[in-house]
Chain A
Amino acid sequence: MQLIRPDINIDFIGKRKIALAISALMILISLGMLAAKGLNFGIDFTGGTLVEVKFDKAPTIADVRNSISPKGFGNAVIQEFGSPEEILIRVQNKDGEKSSTISTAILDGLSEKFTADAVEMRRVEFVGPQVGEELTQAGIMAVLIAMLAILVYITFRFEFRFALGADAALLHDITIILGLFAITGKEFTLPVIAALLTVIGYSLNDTIVVFDRIRENFAANRKRKTPADEISVVNGSINQTLGRTLMTSVTTLLVVAALFFLGGEVIHDFAFALIAGILVGTYSSIYVASPVMMALAGRFKSDEDEIKAMEARP
């Protein structure tokens, strides 16, 4: 079976202005939403307490709130988690309070009202304010360092402008995923950072495959003198790898969809970030990485030298 015909020749690069407009629009919307609404940071970053409980029969949110109000947590965020029986309660840290005991107080309040047998502790997470700050810093550092390391690796293996093209695609992907989290209001947690880094790896994987083919074809057509030559080589390379790009996206999407629908509530948002990342990453490796790389042609000394050297060849 073959879905992508071997002689396929879609003019991806010719449409790069349209693609650029779409990407710019998506990035603007994302940045706008991030500025206006911001991310719904989970307790990993804000600090606070999260208690997940399972009731033997579905309670009303109001009853749950009433049971913890006497303990001083009437303003907690209370929501269903996966099923009506499962309830998630979130409380911010308060200054000067021994915060690690909040979960105990909440569980006590619940079992007083609903009896101890009717409530089951599923999960307790508490992150102190200092740890929250450290995790935020570590998260930002991780993304930056991953991007830098990749920049170095690609510069070493390819050329500097290829590396910038790849990083442009990564920034594009990350911004749009963050924008999606701002728009949907989904909780931004530590596992989501892990998903972001995976998307970085994945999107890059895609980009590298295309770049690798471009490099191979550049080597085969040494005398690419005009920009039009370069465009046709790049466009050809994207088309040649298109079958693989789409196939891998499909197999990866299949398994991530399995994770999204079957993996359970705890990693739901993580799987969501992966799905979004695979879709955006596939798009960016075609429409962002190569056009940016081409736009940077001749900007760096090394490839001017290279072109001159090529032209000097017989």
Chain B
Amino acid sequence: MHSFPRWKIWLILSVLTISLMASLPNVTSVPSWWPASLSNPMSLGLDLKGGIHLVLDVDVDKAVSHSVEEDIDSARQTLRKAKIRYRNLVTDGNSLVITIKNSGDTEAARSLLEETFNNYTMMPAADNTFKLTLKESIAEETRKFAVDQAIEVIRGRIDALGTTEPVIIKQGKHRILVQIPGYEDTAHAKQLIGRTAQLEFKLVDEKGDLDKAMSGSLPPGDIIMYGPEQTRNGQSYRQPYLLKKRTLLSGTEIADARVSIDSRFNEYAVTLKFNSKGARKFDKLTAAHVGERFAIILEGVVNSAPVIRERIAGGSAQITGSFSPAEAHDLAIILRAGALPAPVKVVEERSIGPSLGQDSIDQGMNSIVVGCILVLIFMAVYYRMFGMVANIALIFNMLLILAAMSIIGGTLTLPGIAGIVLTIGMAVDANVLIFERIREELNLGKTPLAAIDGGYDKAFSTIVDANITTLIAAIVLFQFGSGPVKGFAVTLSVGILASMFTAITVTRAIVATSTAKIGRVEKLSI
């Protein structure tokens, strides 16, 4: 038997020490001087600790069309300021279509529009009409920004739930993954996350005739919006309002929102505080329209339309509407966190109640322990002393998986546990290969020590080939899998790599050091 290199023994001992140190945080808390990279326990997946897992789809095209609609407002103002009269001003998908009234103004309008809307490509059409189309790069940026902003807004709302370590990350181009560990009320979470919280303030058109507008002749620049559904005389109905189309103030100008009690009706309400820009606008607005009504529109529904009694300089407003305490609380949260730049939709949900998570941990652990014991017994019976060596390697292997998962910050999921269980069965495969080969060599009449050498050497390339193919399958699984399946791929890959180390190097070291002292081995216990 050729001598076993010293450095390999040192390598094994250092791996063992590091594995023990990295596994410790999973069992007990470690002292402060413990190396930082070895101080993190393995984290449990949502399917084991319970919690909410949502995938949201951001309607990014809405964000683009919304910004185009805002530009139509500024086009209107720009033209008005330059005293250029227009006949038609509409949006068409990602385009603005502008028709100028007098042909004499066309040139002036062209240069003005070109200068103001440099995010658009201008295409002159016939009859004094311009078509400005939003540049694709700008639209793409708007989409990306909408997702990033939605993440921030949703983070703000979830933080208000007071849960620990929520995960909110971008997934793909316009999806957001939200995980809230330990939170059970899926309905509440979905409701809180899904609301756009779009808040707008518009003036009521006091001169316009609501009845006429309802029957079809809507005054230019006006819009009809409705109040919340109410039941009156057993019939449900919604109060219509005739409003000026322009939004004078919006939720973006809010600095803070708090639950308050409305003193007049002793009801729950939400008090808004505008930021300095909003406060200035609000001041000017209330001063100019004393005696008129002013509609507060939340998510497309007119919440209320109080009369402006006097100029309001303090920069705060109150939203009322017979809220329950919980409703007022939620409304304050979403207004404070800001509006979503585009609507979001839940496209996938996987939520686990806490009791199922605990059951899964218990059952998974049972499978690991029972599976492990069965294999240990089987190996010891079938291969005797060599089986015991393989068993030591198997236990080392388990330790190594635990340590590796802790160091790379892996997440243990239920399928991940299944991966570990499977690894137990497959980890001994390398040893089975080696031991069978040693038996063959013995049958060929080789001496015990030569048989050991031959067994290890000849089995080596087989073990590598066989494990690499399994590793390929595991890597593909990781690339294409989602959530829990990924956890399975991770533990399986870690397990395969760990088993190659323990089954080849560690068992060899044990066999080599235990036979080194003995000059001549007569018979192997295999």
Contacts and interface: CB of A to CB of B under 8 A. Distances in A.
Interface of A: 1-3, 6, 52, 54, 100-101, 103-104, 107, 120-128, 130-131, 135, 138-139, 141-142, 145-146, 149-150, 153-154, 157, 190-191, 193-194, 197-198, 200-202, 204-205, 208-209, 212-213, 216, 240-241, 243-244, 247-248, 250-256, 258-259, 262-264, 266-267, 270-271, 274
A255 B371 contact: yes
Given A142-B477, A149-B472, 10 more contacts: A127-B349, A145-B479, A191-B485, A201-B474, A208-B466, A255-B424, A256-B371, A258-B370, A263-B366, A266-B414
Given A124-B349, A149-B476, A259-B418, A103 B186 contact: yes
Contacts of A153: 468-469, 472
B353 A190 contact: no
Nearest to A254: B374
Interface residues of chain A: helix, strand, loop or mixed (majority): helix
A123 B465 contact: no
B367 interface: yes
Contact of B425 (A139, A190, A201, A253): A253
Contacts of A126: 346, 348-350
A139 to B, nearest CB: 7
Contacts of B363: 262-264
A50 B458 CA distance: 51
B360 interface: yes
B378 interface: yes
A264 B360 contact: yes
Interface residues of chain B: helix, strand, loop or mixed (majority): helix
B428 to A, nearest CB: 5
A276 to B, nearest CB: 14
Contacts, number: 238
Contacts of B508: none
Given A1-B382, A205-B426, A123 B352 contact: yes
A52 B477 CA distance: 27
Contacts of A267: 414-415, 418
A262 B366 contact: yes
Interface residues of B, number: 77
Nearest to A191: B415
B184 interface: yes
Nearest to B469: A204
Interface string B47-60: 10000000101000
Given A1-B381, A204-B470, A256-B425, A157 B465 contact: yes
A146 B472 contact: yes
B471 to A, nearest CB: 8
B469 A263 contact: no
B359 interface: yes
Given A142-B480, A254-B374, A264-B363, A270 B422 contact: no
Nearest to A140: B480
B345 A146 contact: no
Contact of A142 (B383, B429, B481): B481
Contact of B422 (A54, A250, A252): A252
A2 B432 CA distance: 12
A154 B256 CA distance: 64
B346 A135 contact: no
Contact of B356 (A52, A107, A154, A259): A52
A244 B465 contact: no
A243 B436 contact: yes
A107 B472 CA distance: 42
Query: Which of B363, B414, B462, B482 counts the most chain A CB atoms within 10 A?
Result: B462
Contacts of B514: none
A156 to B, nearest CB: 11
B429 A248 contact: yes
Nearest to B473: A201
A146 B440 CA distance: 34
A201 B476 CA distance: 11
A205 B492 contact: no
B473 A204 contact: yes
Interface in B230-244: none
B467 A271 contact: no
A241 B378 CA distance: 19
B345 A244 contact: no
A139 B480 contact: yes
A64 to B, nearest CB: 17
A138 B482 contact: yes
Contacts of A145: 476, 479-480
B375 interface: yes
15 contacts: A124-B351, A126-B350, A128-B57, A138-B480, A142-B479, A153-B469, A191-B488, A193-B485, A198-B477, A216-B458, A248-B425, A248-B429, A256-B422, A267-B418, A274-B422
Closest 7 CB pairs of A and B: A252-B425, A255-B371, A201-B473, A100-B346, A201-B470, A264-B363, A258-B371
B85 interface: no
A198 B485 CA distance: 11
A216 to B, nearest CB: 8
B433 interface: yes
Contacts of A259: 367, 371, 418, 421-422
B431 to A, nearest CB: 10
Contact of B473 (A146, A190, A212): A146
A141 B512 CA distance: 46
A194 B481 contact: yes
